[in-house]
Amino acid sequence: MPTIAIIGAGPGMGLAIARTFGKRGFDVALIARTKEKLDALVDQLGQEGITAAAFPADVLDRPSLTEALDAVKTHFGGIDVLEYSPAPHSPVPGFTVASPSESTVENLQPQIEYNFYGAIAAAGAVLPAMREAGAGTLLFTTGGGSVDPNPMFGNVNAASAALRNWVLNLHKELADSGVHAAHVAISVWIGDGGPEGIPSATPEQIAPLYWELYEGRNQPEAIFTA
């Protein structure tokens, strides 16, 4: 069975992506900070006939992230697809949102650590084996502000844009290796209750885009818009 490792797994996009791949024959490794929440998702997927397992880790604690990915490889025998999309659904110390003019080294650094450096650490843990096998997929998710920035999220968008630039460059580097890297920009509010005037979409509407990137294996980027 092929395996997808989802970093930042939760009851929204993570669960939808897990279902999208799991229903097509993938085993699913769920990685996030809270074991209890992961265990609930594992049980839910199991009831739907999808084999899943929980691997708690914090993307801000890069050794723990690497250890979790190594545990995934031991448990399932390898990682065929890596999907990186951590999103703080609860307050995280040091995390604030700032406009471009209000951005400082202090409020930008945590966003870079979370969005960009965590992604690099995750890729570093799985890419050598993928290169050796000549196969594998790396998918990295940001908000639409990485492509079309919004002044409300000046520091967040800057960190996301750095990740996007790196992923697009990684795609070029891996072009002849058999490993595919791609960026997903979600340019809508995910779920209900978004700000007025901002279009929304459900995780179930967005998740098939990840399968299309995996199956096509030729696009460096996909942008989801309403």
Question: Mean pLDDT throughout 55-70?
Answer: 96
pLDDT-based confidence at residue 43 (cuts at 50, 70, 90)? very high
pLDDT-based confidence at residue 91 (cuts at 50, 70, 90)? low
pLDDT-based confidence at residue 76 (cuts at 50, 70, 90)? very high
Q: What's residue 198's pLDDT? A: 74
Task: Please tell me the distance from the alpha carbon of residue 173 to that of residue 30, in angstroms, as a whole number.
Answer: 28
**Placement of tokens 């965590």 in the chain:** 118
The number of domains in the chain is 1
To the nearest whole number, what is the mean pLDDT of the chain?
93
Between 88 and 14, where is the model more confident?
14
How far is residue 189 from each of residues 32, 40, 83, 100, 186, measured CA to CA in Å?
21, 25, 19, 21, 8
pLDDT-based confidence at residue 2 (cuts at 50, 70, 90)? very high
> Is the pLDDT reported for residue 89 higher than 70?
no
Task: Please tell me the distance from the alpha carbon of residue 110 to that of residue 219, in angstroms, as a whole number.
Answer: 30
When mean pLDDT is compared across 27-41, 48-62, 134-148, 198-212, the lowest value belongs to 198-212
> Is the pLDDT reported for residue 131 higher than 90?
yes
Q: What's residue 100's pLDDT? A: 96
Percent of the chain, pLDDT > 70?
A: 95
CATH code of the domain containing 24: 3.40.50.720
Between 93 and 42, where is the model more confident?
42
Q: What's residue 3's pLDDT? A: 98
Question: Mean pLDDT throughout 194-205?
Answer: 79
For the stretch 137-188, pLDDT in tens is 999 999 999 999 999 999 999 999 999 999 999 999 999 999 999 999 998 8
Task: Please tell me the distance from the alpha carbon of residue 190 to that of residue 6, in angstroms, as a whole number.
Answer: 17
> Is the pLDDT reported for residue 90 higher than 60?
no
Residue range(s) defining the domain that contains residue 39: 3-224
DSSP alpha helices (H): ranges in 92-177?
A: 105-111, 118-133, 154-173
pTM exceeds 0.85 for this model:
yes
